[in-house]
């Protein structure tokens, strides 16, 4: 068995991993003003879709982000190379960084209308090689060729449509089968180990996969070859991530994504100390959880034998517990609370001091016993 691939998303140490450049946050040759961008925002209160009993969408494309019941995709993001349903596309209209991405309508022929190398729309036609190309192809592998562009007598889009209609989706690009379900063998506070099923009937050594993970507005992507497992590092603690994996076939064709969501572990507070203030009060202090970027809250719980547990919430790294019973053993716990859940508790036991009255009574009892 091959050792797991480790990736921090910052460097490339394993030859089986090929990092990919994130989408540019500013408009490039695919402008935000193109006819596939955001000039026509989606109407979230529009058509209500009705899938069949299997949840399939005949003639449509499934959302790559849905992790349970797959919903129909209504937009495809050229920058993210991901299809989104009504719910998951909303951030592309509300988050400024995502508003610069280029969107297009989803259709059943979506895969073969994208450049299989750059995953951008095929909008140009190279007369030299008699093949449709994208805007990046025109300045890279087809630079200096005779290319039909928008605004010419016969636009590149028209030529592309004619070529694709003649070739058909099967001849234009043989889309490989998707990988199996994603599993997460181990999940830490800043790392996730994931694996996925090998497409049926295909040998793992010759396969390539594109792995993408998203959190909020951040998206990272890389390619792996010859393995179906890896370890992603340098993640944010207590954060939900959506992982997607697609098979990469010949000529860089790409299968549908399989997706799954997982939250990294929320780290617990460190260095909890309990110091007496008086016989009925104690002072608690703890340190910020290791590696945590978010601003957390903390849940402080305390109890003694025969009593119900009491809890308080605080954003501070210290608090005072008052109105405790003298001469009683208490168990005190503190855990980190984030939007995605709580950490394991850090606990200490402490015995409050005895009051002066209690000490006098105890001394009297001892004297009486001696008599």
Task: Answer yes or no: is pLDDT of 121 > 80.
Answer: no
Do β-strands 346-351 and 329-338 pair in parallel, antiparallel, or remain unpaired?
antiparallel
Instruction: Classify 327 in phi/psi space as left (phi over 0), alpha (psi -120 to 50) or beta.
Output: left
Residue 223 lies in a domain: yes
46 token code pair: 């529009």
Domain-ending residue, one of 204, 230, 263: 263
Task: Answer yes or no: is pLDDT of 117 > 60.
Answer: yes
| Structure confidence by residue, pLDDT tens digits, 93-111 | 888 888 888 787 776 556 6
Angstrom distance (rounded) from CA 6 to CA 235: 12
Angstrom distance (rounded) from CA 275 to CA 268: 20
Residue of 212, 244, 217 whose CA lies nearest to 65: 244
Torsion of CA 240, 84, 221, 246, to 10 degrees: 110
Q: Which residue has the higher pLDDT, 310 or 116?
A: 310
Residue with the two structure tokens 């010859």: 226
Between 108-112, 164-168, 343-347, 350-354, the lowest mean confidence (pLDDT) is in: 108-112
Residue 36 lies in a domain: no
| 339 and 277 in a common domain | yes
Please report the pLDDT score of residue 41 as a whole number. Answer: 41
Please report the pLDDT score of residue 19 as a whole number. Answer: 53
Residue of 142, 116, 121, 112 whose CA lies nearest to 130: 142
H helices present in the chain, as ranges: 91-94, 96-99, 135-139, 156-172, 356-370
Give the rounded distance of the alpha carbon of 134 from its chain centre: 28
Asked if residue 70 lies in contact with residue 86, where contact means CB atoms within 8 angstroms, the answer is: no
34 token code pair: 């193109």
The SS3 call for residue 278 is strand
CATH number at residue 296: 2.60.40.10
Q: How many domains does the chain have?
A: 2
Task: Answer yes or no: is pLDDT of 50 > 70.
Answer: no
Residue 199 to residues 175, 228, 271: CA-CA distances in angstroms?
A: 12, 10, 48
316 token code pair: 């501070």
| Structure confidence by residue, pLDDT tens digits, 127-185 | 777 778 888 888 877 777 788 876 554 566 777 777 777 765 544 456 788 899 999 99
| 343 and 321 in a common domain | yes
Angstrom distance (rounded) from CA 288 to CA 79: 37
Residue 87 lies in a domain: no
| Structure confidence by residue, pLDDT tens digits, 270-289 | 999 999 999 999 999 999 99
The H or E element that residue 349 is part of is: strand 346-351
Please report the pLDDT score of residue 72 as a whole number. Answer: 82
Residue of 193, 185, 235 whose CA lies nearest to 214: 235
| 215 and 195 in a common domain | yes
Q: What's the domain range around 251?
A: 182-263
| 351 and 324 in a common domain | yes
Between 43-57, 82-96, 218-232, 324-338, the lowest mean confidence (pLDDT) is in: 43-57
Residue 44 lies in a domain: no
């Amino acid at each position: 068995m091959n050792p797991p691939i480790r990736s921090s998303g910052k460097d490339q140490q394993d030859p089986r991993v090929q990092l990919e450049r994130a989408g540019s946050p500013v408009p490039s040759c695919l402008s935000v003003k193109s006819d596939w961008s955001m000039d026509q925002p989606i109407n979230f209160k529009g058509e209500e879709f009705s899938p069949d009993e299997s949840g399939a969408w005949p003639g449509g494309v499934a959302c790559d982000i849905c992790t349970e019941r797959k919903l129909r995709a209504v937009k495809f993001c050229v920058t993210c190379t991901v299809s989104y349903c009504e719910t998951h596309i909303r951030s592309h209209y509300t988050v400024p960084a995502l508003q610069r991405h280029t969107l297009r309508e989803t259709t059943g022929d979506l895969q073969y209308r994208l450049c299989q190398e750059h995953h951008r729309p095929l909008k140009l036609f190279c007369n030299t090689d008699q093949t449709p190309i994208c805007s990046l192809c025109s300045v890279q592998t087809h630079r200096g060729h005779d290319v039909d562009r928008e605004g010419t007598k016969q636009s590149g889009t028209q030529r592309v449509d004619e070529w694709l209609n003649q070739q058909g989706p099967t001849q234009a690009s043989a889309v490989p089968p998707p990988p199996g379900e994603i599993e997460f063998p181990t999940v830490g506070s800043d790392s996730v180990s994931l694996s996925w099923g090998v497409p049926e009937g295909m040998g793992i050594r010759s396969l390539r996969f594109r792995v993408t993970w998203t959190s909020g507005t951040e998206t990272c992507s890389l390619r792996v070859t010859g393995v179906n497992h890896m370890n992603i590092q340098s993640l944010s603690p207590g954060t939900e991530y959506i992982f997607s994996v697609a098979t990469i076939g010949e000529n860089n064709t790409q299968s549908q994504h399989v997706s799954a969501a997982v939250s990294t572990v929320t780290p617990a507070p460190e260095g909890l100390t309990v110091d007496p203030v008086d016989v009925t009060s104690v002072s608690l202090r703890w340190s910020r959880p290791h590696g945590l970027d978010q601003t957390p809250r903390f849940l402080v719980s305390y109890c003694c034998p025969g009593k119900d547990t009491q809890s308080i919430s605080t954003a501070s790294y210290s608090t005072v517990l008052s109105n405790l019973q003298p001469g009683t053993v208490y168990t005190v716990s503190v855990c980190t609370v984030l939007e995605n859940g709580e950490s394991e508790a850090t606990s200490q036991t402490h015995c409050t001091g005895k009051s002066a009255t209690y000490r006098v009574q105890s001394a009297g009892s001892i004297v009486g016993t001696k008599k």
